[in-house]
Amino acid sequence: MKLFNKQTATLITAAGLGLAAVSSAWAAESLQDVMKARGLSQQDLMAAAKTYVPTGKRDDFIAFSSGGQSGQVIVYGIPSMRILKYIAVFTPEPWQGYGFDEESKAVLKQGQIDGKDITWGDTHHPAISETNGKYDGQFLFINDKANPRLAVIDLRDFETKQIVVNPIFKSEHGGAFVSPNTEYIIEAAQYASPLANKKFVPLERFNEEYRGGVTYWKFDRKEGRIDVKNSFSLELPPYSQDLSDFGKGPSDGWSFTNSFCTERYVGGIEKNRPPYEAGCSAKDTDYMHVINWKKAAELVAQGKAKKINGHNVIMMETSIKEGILYLVPEPKSPHGVDVSPDGTHMVVSGKLDTHVSVYSFDKIMAAVKAKKFEGADPYGIPVIAMKDALARQVQLGLGPLHTQYDSKKCVAYTSLYVDSQVAKWDYCEGKVLDKLSIHYNIGHLNTMQGDSMDPKGHYLVALNKLAIDRFNPVGPLHPQNHQLIDISGDKMQLLYDMPLPLGEPHYMVSIDAKLLKPGIRYKHGTNSRTDKPHPGAVRAGEEKTVRKGNKVEVFGTLIRSHITPETIEVNVGDEVTINLTNLERAEDETHGFTVSTYNVHASVEPGKTSSVKFKADKEGVYPYYCTEFCSALHLEMQGYLLVKPKGYKEVKVAAAKAVYTEDDYKKQVKKINDTQAVIDSVVGFITSHNYKDFPDVVSLVEDATDQLGRMKEAKTKHEEAAKAKDWQNATLWAEQVWQYQVKAADIGLRAKTYLEEHGAKKVGK
Amino acid sequence: MKLFNKQTATLITAAGLGLAAVSSAWAAESLQDVMKARGLSQQDLMAAAKTYVPTGKRDDFIAFSSGGQSGQVIVYGIPSMRILKYIAVFTPEPWQGYGFDEESKAVLKQGQIDGKDITWGDTHHPAISETNGKYDGQFLFINDKANPRLAVIDLRDFETKQIVVNPIFKSEHGGAFVSPNTEYIIEAAQYASPLANKKFVPLERFNEEYRGGVTYWKFDRKEGRIDVKNSFSLELPPYSQDLSDFGKGPSDGWSFTNSFCTERYVGGIEKNRPPYEAGCSAKDTDYMHVINWKKAAELVAQGKAKKINGHNVIMMETSIKEGILYLVPEPKSPHGVDVSPDGTHMVVSGKLDTHVSVYSFDKIMAAVKAKKFEGADPYGIPVIAMKDALARQVQLGLGPLHTQYDSKKCVAYTSLYVDSQVAKWDYCEGKVLDKLSIHYNIGHLNTMQGDSMDPKGHYLVALNKLAIDRFNPVGPLHPQNHQLIDISGDKMQLLYDMPLPLGEPHYMVSIDAKLLKPGIRYKHGTNSRTDKPHPGAVRAGEEKTVRKGNKVEVFGTLIRSHITPETIEVNVGDEVTINLTNLERAEDETHGFTVSTYNVHASVEPGKTSSVKFKADKEGVYPYYCTEFCSALHLEMQGYLLVKPKGYKEVKVAAAKAVYTEDDYKKQVKKINDTQAVIDSVVGFITSHNYKDFPDVVSLVEDATDQLGRMKEAKTKHEEAAKAKDWQNATLWAEQVWQYQVKAADIGLRAKTYLEEHGAKKVGK
């Protein structure tokens, strides 16, 4: 069938799809010319139409992707695949002040290991908080594989609020995954090591003294923080535990963790031993760990856990005795155990196998109940025979890796690493439905909400590990490649190649954009990292500088376009703390702050209070300024930190000579009056239209009114100075009135344009 | 005119534009359905067609955008607006190992100020190296406003090679800009301060002892580095110097720097003085500085510069006496002085004026020659009257800020901050040609190669300062917004909104993608930061660990999928250096490296040698692993750092029990033979087609052959072990053969798919 036929083309032409006529700027060329010039096929045009998001429109889904070794989280929109934000998590991020202001330093400090700063992370698996197994859009969790840690991000402001350090692991990979009501977040070890911190054990004692494990972090939903004291772990054999998933619906209360290298092979190329890759994949199967976490939590409450490094650990002996831990063989070296939306099945893929294995939760429970085991592993953990646990196996292709679910019943998608393909298949019937080639070598994949009880279908993203020749060359280090695939029809369609420019995005989760309700400003004077009032916050007019001994604390404010105070005087060696509250209420009116060469930076969004702290150990003169282009007078949003030498005596200097005259003042007043006429005309336009029907314009009008309100004080000052014939101050304060006018006019013009573009209607007075 | 008419639609349908038939996956729906479902207008469809880059295709232009307060550079493609890379410059970037390996730490150390690390930057203006005034695609330069520094990036590998610290400023904004043959890179001060480092001077002595200036960094093209010793500065008055530009063609040899706050106003809200924003914009004009830099360089060579902080500075007295420095009034608070492609005119916009001012280089030179000055500034610098320098002024709108040039003669584009518009105008005739609204508040703008002598037209990017409601909400901190505009026709067309997720991208430069020729691998054993052979590099088989006293140095290698060595044994307190060479030759086969909780990370691209260094001050067991998903056995690319306690005595432990039997070995051999059959069939497919006509496939075949070549050693080992009836090692080394086979098969399948998708033809044997 042809993509275009006469009928549809005529329809488009005739109806214009009910949209406004194409503006004259667009009239001179035809779509065909553009397609020809750019070498686009009809299929390309269709893909473009399916992914293009016009100016001012929004994406349908929001993706949270791990930032890999960048240590951060990447947020992007689907289907446009435009990156909207990097959330700073484990790595200092100066743009956001993260690691450069005191509030975020406190968060990063929680992530210290053995008393030392860790200034990066290897983020792997993000997870969105759930209520009744469905995404609720409230919190995001992400793990650090290299330095086993977990972070909590609040989706009200997309900021990292907490970092917890795993108390018993030296690496972890199998986190984060949440239980259906986010009671717990799972984090499974990767490479085995002694559980006691800083304990040296030779590799010859690997089987006896190295251990794996899985940690269940308790989440306090009300506080929005992990409750470290009530978290616990299970000791596990020194198999490399890998990904996990929580049961849901019928399997709620259980969790599943797979593993590789159950051979417990210890490599040593330098000793002429075959490498890990040979010894760790020599057997045909590894083990899926099946854990009753609800009962485990009860055992901890009953005091049946052992304290290791101060943390509750249920030892294997206890787990076996209490019947909360079982093993099921799975094809070797799998990555990903994925519970079906209805909670009845778990899909596992052995990367070196060609099959996906569909396990039945019912069959596993039946075996547990009947105590039907094929034996035990070397540590005495009961092993359920594969045949007693499997529903079916399906041959998909080379290198199956990770499975996600569709909104359509029984439909799943599995990534095939070696084949560089996505397979669409039916896990109820056990048949392949479709295959699509990707470029190249897909690791994880994601369908919209595809790991929740409420998958949304629509799109699939292939998280490819190699970009190779897909994009313009940018040197030996290539971007990653996320490919967007349309899964709404029977056959998959490749829509878009998205380069990922920062880190190796290991896994991604996606959510219906409507479920996110982030705020656009903070309550006045908020410490955004604690969500509590900041002790350094002040309101306009309350700014002050307080000295106590050699400690100087500034309580300042930021507003278009000045920093209060504009001078900070200290003595060399003083410890200086500068608290800054952003007085703005307008959306996106962020101010930044830095002091030259003192290595501090803050990003202060509307309502937020941030503080920077440093020792003024270098005498001299250090400009400070706003680092975020905030208004036409942004460059003038400046000040000076003056660091005086020891024993400096103030020098009396004559006051600066007045340079402005009565004429200058009169010119200023005229300029103010002229500008006011412009403002009045803009205000006239706005109020003569139904602007109240447009919430965006209402908030612009509020902002403009706020700016004009600030004018009053400066107006009083210039009029009083003029009365006293102080033309210098009269001229300058009049200029300040004009500054507020310019800002109000700027906002007003934006509002006017909005109304014009959105078809606002004239209203009666 | 209608976008579609019957004729064009028929043409598209009939001719299929000469492209392959639409695959069956795409047949079921019509373009109209998609447009309707997604609410796209015909104009939206056209914009989609103009920006969509299909999978495997490339962008036409590459943009280098400052990353603002992220301290980095953002690289993206035009017209797709997809971000391809972040180049780590002033801020540690773990993904790239930047600040986490020893080689990049050495670069960051060059950027220390007053002996201390600065771990971020406020990047502003990138500049591409030029030859004869045209972009040559070799180097990129970028400045740091907060901590006055300049960085050199080599566009062969997109890596930062050098950072230099400005010796006399405390902040700078007016860099980087290059002279037509990249002899010098300019960096102008922003906020005035005493030029001597760490010199305290009270603000009351602002006019007398605070100074601005402009630095000319000498660039050594052959070395690809700045020649610090042969660089120099001019002392300037304490006006806030702002942006600069170099003359070209007829104006080559001169440079231009504008300024604001020539009022030399010192604010002080806290002392009830009007703020900087009032006092710094009270006068109607500021000054453009006109400097004869070629003559200045000669004066330095003649020893006429003064040494300040060890750096050559031409004092104002000398500049005035030697006739190399002039001032020209310009409308107040401008941002950007932009020399026309033919070098005859300079365009300046006062942000608080409604005009752009077009200055004539000829008129300025005539005034200089005739010594026709309207007077001198307070420091004795001759001032040329505005009327004697201006060609014309053109009224454009509110808040004009920055100007860029078209490939069409006399056509320029200027950003209007307050109006939130781009104005297209003719600077020869002085008339406005078109205006387009943007969202919202544009700062800089860029046309393709629009600040060189060879502008390319096509596209314009508006670098907007506020996103407000343009994108899905992501909390109080919004992305920035770059809007792509088509300027190829008479009227401008808004094509695309691109969110910028990291930093405030202040300015951007763009280059024809064809001019960039980056490499995809390094010569074996390269230190990428010095471009020299790395002393820690070894070849396969030469790996070793060397101990000298308490220093342990590892000379290791990385290849799919093992790290050699796999065990590193040290004593607590040892200083450990691990050098790693990536043995891969294949494009994009990067390996990463980290050691658990020791806060080191390296990104090792093919051919590169990187080293990490740390004190092993924590006894215990620390896994290390490859952090870049590199093959199906990536997770098995691991090893252990064993840190033994003081006085640890080796324990003799029995050798690990053999677990594999003759049967296991036989199974392995069968698996190898089966896999070889698959490989042979893939090889058969490839060699029976004209694969040599596809360079990408040729390089895949080379890579696969390389993997198969590595097989030989493992094959010898398993056969020898089998002869000796050592079934354990025989089985494992046979498994290792299979590992190489899997990698070769992976690459082979990729090559086969490529050939199938690119219409390869059968050839005779």
* Cα–Cα distances in angstroms (integers) from residue B245 to residues B23, B185, B254, B442, in the given order: 53, 10, 9, 20
Segments of chain B with pLDDT less than 50: 1-22
Q: What is the pLDDT of residue A602?
A: 98
**ipTM of model:** 0.94
Chain A hits for B638, CB-CB cut-off 8 Å, are 191, 267, 276
Instruction: Name the burial class of residue B1, with classes exposed (0-12), middle (13-18) and buried (19+) by CB atoms within 10 angstroms of its CB.
Output: exposed
pLDDT for A635 equals 92
Residue A758 at interface with chain B, using a CB cutoff of 8 Å? no
CB pairs under 8 A between A and B: 782
Pairwise CA distance, residues B481 & B276, whole Å? 28
Distance from C-alpha of B489 to C-alpha of A28, rounded to nearest angstrom: 8
What is the homologous superfamily of the domain A526-644 according to CATH?
A: Cupredoxins -  blue copper proteins (2.60.40.420)
Residues of B in contact with A599 (CB under 8 A): 116-120, 147
Token pair for A263:
């051979």
Q: Is A527 on the interface with B (CB under 8 A)?
A: no
Task: Check residue B643 and give its pLDDT.
Answer: 98
The confidence score (pLDDT) of residue B224 equals: 98
User: How far from A218 is each of A241, A629, B142, B482, CA to CA, in Å?
Assistant: 20, 42, 46, 42
Nearest partner of B484 among A483, A749, A82, A37, judged by Cα: A82
* Nearest one of B685, B709, B710, B686 to B696, comparing CA atoms: B686
* Cis upstream peptide for A440 (omega within 30°): yes
Q: How far apart are CA B608 and CA B712, in angstroms?
A: 25
DSSP letters for B149-207? EEEEEETTTTEEEEEEE-SS-S-B-S--EE-TTSSEEEEEB-S-B-SSTT----GGGHH
Helix (H) or strand (E) holding B38: helix B31-38
Q: Give me the helix-helix angle, B662-687 and B695-723, nearest 10°.
A: 160
Residue where the block lists tokens 């795409």: B26
Tell me the mean pLDDT in the region A177-201: 97
Other residues' Cβ atoms within 10 Å of the Cβ of residue A742: 25
- Give A 318-337 residues with CB within 8 A of chain B: 333, 335
Residue B203: its pLDDT value, please? 95
pLDDT score, position B530 = 98
Could you please state the CATH topology (level 3) that the domain comprising B396-503 is classified under.
Answer: Methylamine Dehydrogenase; Chain H (2.130.10)
Of the candidates B47, B198, B642, which has its C-beta nearest A620's C-beta?
Answer: B198
Let me know: does B703 contact B593? Beta carbons within 8 Å: no
The DSSP string of B73-110 is EEEEEETT--EEEEE-SSS-BGGGTBTTSHHHHHHHHH
- Tell if the CB–CB gap between B191 and A120 is shorter than 8 Å: no
Share of chain A above pLDDT 90, in %: 82
- Three-class secondary structure of residue A733 per DSSP: helix
Return the closest-CA partner of residue B93 out of B735, B601, B506.
Answer: B601
- What totals of helices (H) and strands (E) does chain B contain, helices first? 13, 44
Tell me, what DSSP letter sits at residue B759? T
Between the CA atoms of B39, B41, B47 and B49, what dihedral angle is there, to the nearest 10 degrees? 80
Residue at token pair 């971007």: A479
- The C-alpha of B326 sits at a distance from chain A's nearest C-alpha, in angstroms, of 23
Do residues B261 and B350 make contact, with C-beta atoms less than 8 angstroms apart?
no
pLDDT at A15 over 60: no
Token pair listed for B581: 């060479």
Q: Look up residue A2 and give its two tokens.
A: 């042809």
Contact between B437 and B420 (Cβ < 8 Å) = yes
Flag whether residue A14 sits within 8 Å of chain B, measured between CB atoms.
no
Residue A141 corresponds to which tokens in the numbers above?
């969790």
Chain A positions in Cβ-Cβ contact with residue B499 (cut-off 8 Å) = 77, 82-84
Q: Give A366-411 pLDDT, tens digit per residue.
A: 999 999 999 999 999 999 999 999 999 999 998 999 999 999 999 9
Q: Could B22 and A3 be called an inter-chain contact, meaning their C-beta atoms sit closer than 8 Å? A: yes
Which CATH architecture does the domain made up of B166-391 adopt? 7 Propeller (2.130)
CA distances from A81 to A75, A403, A467, A495, A510 (A): 10, 21, 16, 10, 12
Q: Which of A82, A138, A590 to mutate to test the interface with B (most CBs of B within 10 A)?
A: A82
Contact A594, A627 (CB under 8 A): yes
Beta-ladder partners of A404: A413
Cis, peptide link before residue B176, omega less than 30° from 0: yes
Kindly give the residue spans of alpha helices, DSSP state H, lying in A370-446: 386-389
* A328-342, A670-684, B465-479: least confident range: A670-684
- Biggest CA-to-CA distance, chain B: 100
Is A17's pLDDT higher than 80? no
3-state secondary structure of A480: strand
Q: Which two tokens stand for residue B11?
A: 């043409």
| Residue A20 scores a pLDDT above 90 | no
Q: Encode B540-569 in three state secondary structure.
A: CCCCEEEEECCEEEEEEEEECCEEECCEEE
With CA atoms as reference, report the closest residue to B66 among B133, B145, B130, B137. Answer: B145
| Angle at alpha carbon of residue A453, lines to A449 and A458, rounded to 5° | 35
The mean pLDDT value for A286-304 works out to 98
Helix (H) / strand (E) containing A612:
strand A609-615
pLDDT of A18 higher than 70: no
Residues of A (678-717) whose Cβ lies below 8 Å from B: 696, 714, 717
Q: For residue B295, give how far its alpha carbon lies from the nearest alpha carbon of chain A (Å).
A: 31
What crossing angle do the helices spanning B42-51 and B31-38 adopt, rounded to 10°? 110
Helix (H, G, I), strand (E, B) or coil at A317: helix
Q: How far is A361 from chain B (nearest CA, A)?
A: 28
Could you tell me whether strands A551-559 and A575-582 are parallel, antiparallel, or unpaired per DSSP bridges?
Answer: parallel
Residue A499 has pLDDT above 90, yes or no: yes
Alpha-carbon distance of B79 to B465, in angstroms, equals: 20
Residues 101-130 of A with CB under 8 A from B: 113-114, 116-122
Query: Given an 8 Å threshold on Cβ–Cβ distance, is B588 in contact with A466?
Result: yes
What span, in angstroms and rounded, lies between the C-alpha atoms of B576 and B567?
Answer: 13
Cβ-count burial of A342 within 10 angstroms (0-12 exposed, 13-18 middle, 19+ buried)?
middle
User: pLDDT of A418-454, one tens digit each?
Assistant: 899 999 999 999 999 999 999 989 999 999 999 999 9
N-term to C-term CA, chain B? 57
The residues, any chain, with a CB within 8 Å of residue B716's CB and separated by 6 or more, are none
Are B120 and A94 a contacting pair at CB < 8 A? yes
Q: In chain B, what residues touch A460 (CB-CB under 8 Å)?
A: none
Over residues A42-64, mean pLDDT: 97
Of B2, B643, B746, the CB nearest to A200: B643
pLDDT at res. A11: 32
Structural tokens at position B233: 């500065």
Per the listing, tokens 């049961």 go with A247
Q: Each residue of B274-288: pLDDT tens digit?
A: 999 999 988 899 999
CB A459 within 8 A of CB A486: yes
pLDDT at A705: 86
Confidence band (pLDDT; 50, 70, 90) for A654? low
Q: Flag if A493 and B25 touch (Cβ within 8 Å).
A: yes
Residues of chain B contacting A56 with CB distance shorter than 8 Å = 439, 469-470, 497
Q: Is the CB of residue B606 less than 8 Å away from at least one CB of chain A?
A: yes
Show the tokens assigned to B225. 């580095």
CB B146 within 8 A of CB A596: yes
The two structure tokens encoding residue A508: 């991604």
B356 three-state secondary structure: strand
Contact B400, B414 (CB under 8 A): yes
Q: Are B100 and B602 in contact (CB under 8 A)?
A: yes
Whether residue B83 contacts residue B76, with contact meaning beta carbons closer than 8 Å, is answered with yes
Backbone angles phi, psi at B19, to 5 degrees: -100, 170
Task: Please give the residue of chain A at the shortest CA–CA distance from B658.
Answer: A265
Domain ranges of chain A: 1-15+28-51, 526-644, 662-757
Average of per-residue pLDDT across A593-611:
98
What confidence tier does A27 reach under pLDDT thresholds 50, 70, 90? low
CA A581 from centroid of its chain's CA atoms:
25
State phi, psi for A543 to the nearest 5 degrees.
-60, 145
Residue B308, pLDDT score: 98
- Angstrom distance (rounded) from CA A526 to CA A606: 10
Q: What is the DSSP letter of A98?
A: B
Cβ atoms of B519 and B494 closer than 8 Å: no
> Nearest CB to A489: which of B28, B260, B278?
B28
- Chain B, 343 to 402: residues with Cβ < 8 Å from chain A are 351-352, 398-399
Residues paired with residue B532 on neighbouring β-strands, in sequence order: B527
Q: How far apart are CA B389 and CA B382, in angstroms?
A: 13
Residue of B100, B469, B472 to mutate when probing chain A, most A C-beta within 10 A: B472
Task: Please tell me the distance in Å from B80's CA to the nearest CA on chain A.
Answer: 10
Helices and strands, number each (H, E), in chain A:
13, 44
| Cβ atoms B267, B238 nearer than 8 A | no
Same fold, B166-391 and B526-644: no
Residue B615 corresponds to which amino acid? Answer: K
Considering only A199-208, A349-358, A405-414, B106-115, which range has the smallest mean pLDDT?
A349-358
Which residues 162-221 on chain A approach chain B with CB closer than 8 angstroms? 170-171, 173, 190-191, 193-194, 197-205, 210
